A and B are shown apart, each in its own frame.
Chain A
Amino acid sequence: MARTKIAQRSIDQATLTRVSRRELLKLTPLLVLGAFAIPSFQESLLKKGLGFSDWASARLFRGGHLAPTFADSEVTPFEKFPINDYDVDDPGVIFENWSLTVGGLVQKPGEYRLPQIQSLPRIRQNTRHVCVEGWDVIGRFGGARLSDFLAMIGADTSARFIAVSCADDYYETLDMATALHPQTLLCYEMYDQPLTREHGAPLRLNIPTKIGYKQAKYLTELKVTNVVNKVGYWEDQGYSSFYGL
């Protein structure tokens, strides 16, 4: 449908100038985005933007929706499962002495040893592990459902967060909805073998609905809490707090 010209109308030059200027001024709200270029505003604006993304992500999370699982043939070979750490590959955990210190809003706080965790039903799953850097691998993980462990310790599941600390001073928090998700594991096995030192022995988190950095290794402490001051090692440097996949 071609445009057709109607009979020529006329506009006074001064009017055209005035109208053009007004139309240009209508665009000035765009300059608000310039705040992102001003150093003193930039950090807080970006933090708010990321916070909004996290809020939207939390709204999108469905506790009943499972992460894809894979056949054994699709699992990445163990030697090709990368090891990322922020400090050391092996923080020197002494397994004979190891226990998980449980505290916070729970009925049965105290020290929990690996056999107690291993007495809970063992789940094995082939799931995708996604690193924030952009790579991913499919791993074979085994462990107890975190939700089963939370029941064992009499956790208050109306609380908002699980906070974990690690032997290498790494730390993370997990929203309760994700903690209760059926695929969230207190993982003590990889590829049907006990966790190796580099992969977080004796206990780590395996959370197929979360980005890799949330899946803390070398767990030493677990707390159920409503208050979180430090979200996680990477989050406190500016990464996303929720980062559900």
Chain B
Amino acid sequence: MSSTSFEIVRAKGDETESVGRVVYEHPFVVRLCHWLNAISLFVMVGSGLQIFRAFPSFGAKIPQKDLLNWPKTFAIGGWLGGALQWHLTFMWIYMATGLVYVGYELFSGNYRQVLFTHRDIPGVWPMIRHYFFFGPKPPQREAYNSLQKHAYTSAIALGILSVLTGLAIWRPVQFSWLAWFVGGFHWARLWHFLVMWAILAFVFGHLIMVVLHGWNNFVSMLTGWKKDPEY
């Protein structure tokens, strides 16, 4: 998918001068789903942790050995009943957003610029070396580098896993085949919890990258337009 780079011009006397370049990076659907997901993921994690507080263990009930005591202040809902209301309300927004996003990416062909494929494997290590070990900056030829593609593709896969494991916990009888597929009720609960931490790890890295890549990059996820792109 090709993109058009624009020269930003403004009048200067009788002539025009260039004040930079701009590219249209993110279509409306992508931006809408991004922010919808940010909001709903925030609520799902917050309320999920409050639900977890009701039985913070993956072992037996008798005797109960808690895995970790997550503080109420960093959770949403206040109590189990409240947390379930948030979780079971926002899960529909979360699932619908995911479906719309993935559907749009496939239907528009936009997925090609963000999907991690075998061709991206060689590019991963140079990017890690540059980000974490002061390696040289690899030349950027496309909108997303290999490491970014890996991150964003993994994030989608994790999102899908969070839904599948969540559905197995919520409906272990009606979706008994799904519960079986993820290893049973106990494993569904554990995978759901672990996938949440993996998603949080992604969000942490993502936020750092957003900060590091500056204001123009951030604005592009609001307006779609990125000023002075690197490519």
Binding site for B on A (CB under 8 A): 1-6, 8-14, 16, 19-21, 23-24, 26-27, 30, 33, 36, 45-50, 52-53, 57, 60-62, 65, 67-68, 79-82, 128, 130-137, 208-209, 234, 237-240, 244-245
Contact = CB atoms under 8 A, between A and B. Distances in A.
A10 B174 contact: no
Interface of B: 1-10, 16, 18-19, 21-22, 28, 31-32, 35-36, 39, 43, 51-52, 54-55, 57, 60-62, 64, 80-82, 84-86, 88-93, 112-113, 141-143, 171-174, 176, 185-186, 189, 219, 222-225, 231
Contacts of A128: 172, 185
A193 to B, nearest CB: 19
Nearest to B3: A3
B10 A13 contact: yes
Contact of B173 (A11, A208, A239): A208
Contacts of B141: 2
Interface of A is mostly: mixed
Closest 9 CB pairs of A and B: A49-B89, A134-B55, A135-B61, A46-B85, A20-B223, A245-B173, A133-B54, A238-B81, A53-B88
Given A13-B8, A134-B54, 10 more contacts: A2-B142, A3-B142, A10-B7, A10-B9, A10-B16, A11-B7, A33-B93, A65-B174, A65-B176, A245-B172
30 contacts: A2-B141, A5-B5, A9-B6, A10-B6, A10-B8, A10-B16, A12-B9, A12-B10, A13-B8, A13-B19, A14-B10, A20-B224, A23-B31, A26-B28, A27-B35, A33-B36, A33-B39, A46-B82, A49-B85, A49-B88, A62-B174, A65-B173, A68-B176, A131-B61, A134-B51, A134-B52, A135-B64, A238-B85, A244-B173, A245-B174
A62 B171 CA distance: 12
